[in-house]
Amino acid sequence: MSLHNLYQEFSSQIQFIKVYIREAHPVDGWWFGKGIMSTLLNLSRSKASRNLYDPKTLEERRGAAGDCEESLQFGIKTYVDEMDDLVNKAYAAWPTRLYLINIEGTVIYAGGLGPFGFKPGVLKQAIEKHITEEKIP
Amino acid sequence: MDTIHNRQEASSWQKRHNTLAPKVGDLAPDFTLSDIRGENPIRLSDFQGKKPVALIFGSFT
């Protein structure tokens, strides 16, 4: 289950918000551009960038977020966390994470920390359960 | 938060913040963020009473 497919299937019932947060594996950080991780990314045909430096300004971050949105093409509009990383910290979101929130503003699915806890298929199950129970048309 | 350089720093950051992250049944922390052009701000709480929200956090690397 890809995020793109998830969005295509449920976007009329669920508001999808992609939040671009601090880079996970930039060139100037915990880089995956060489060695075994690079090989694994090649094998998985990952679209993740391997030549991006961690943005140092909000303008740079917006630029990277735009490149990400264009490359990955989930169809989900991207919003950009600010340089204080407040939203990232509030949700312990780094490097990737998924949440589902009901109309009361309560968390009804909190995914595990990425990458191993990042499971769009489990989010799909949570969405299906929620829209069935709440009879969301 | 500074750039994370290795697994140890990543683990330390995650342990520090994960305990405070919202769990099932918690109220989702509200936020307002703008899009990739710095425009069209969106506030999470604006969707209360209207539509469930799926939050997808990630980056490009």
B54 touches chain A (CB under 8 A): yes
Domain locations in chain A as residue ranges: 3-133
CB contact under 8 A, B54 and A65: no
CA distances from A78 to A61, B14, B17, B33 (A): 12, 23, 23, 10
d(CA A116, CA B61): 15
pLDDT value for A88: 97
Chain A and chain B share a number of CB contacts under 8 A equal to 214
* Percent of residues, chain B, with pLDDT higher than 70: 98
A14 min Cα distance to partner chain B (Å): 5
Q: A57-112, pLDDT tens digit by residue? A: 999 999 999 999 988 877 899 999 999 999 999 999 999 999 999 999 999 999 99
Q: Does residue B15 fall inside a structural domain?
A: no
Q: A16-47, pLDDT tens digit by residue? A: 999 999 999 898 888 887 777 777 777 777 77
* Percent of residues, chain B, with pLDDT higher than 90: 74
Q: Does residue B53 fall inside a structural domain?
A: yes
pLDDT value for A27: 87
Q: What ipTM does this complex have?
A: 0.93
Burial A89-117 (b: 16+ CB within 10 A, else e): bbbbbbbbbbbbbbbebebbbbbebbeee
Q: Does residue B34 fall inside a structural domain?
A: yes
Q: Which domain holds residue B26?
A: 22-61
B42 min Cα distance to partner chain A (Å): 8
CB contact under 8 A, B53 and A64: no
B28 min Cα distance to partner chain A (Å): 6
pLDDT value for B48: 97
Q: Does residue B27 fall inside a structural domain?
A: yes
Q: Among all residues of chain B, which has the CA nearest to that of A66? A: B36
Q: Based on the structure, what is the number of domains in chain B? A: 1
* Percent of residues, chain A, with pLDDT higher than 90: 65
CB contact under 8 A, A88 and B1: yes
Q: Does residue B16 fall inside a structural domain?
A: no
Q: Does residue B41 fall inside a structural domain?
A: yes
Q: Among all residues of chain B, which has the CA nearest to that of A91? A: B21
CB-nearest partner of A20 from B26, B49, B59: B59
CA distances from A74 to A17, A18, A82, A120, B27 (A): 11, 9, 22, 12, 27
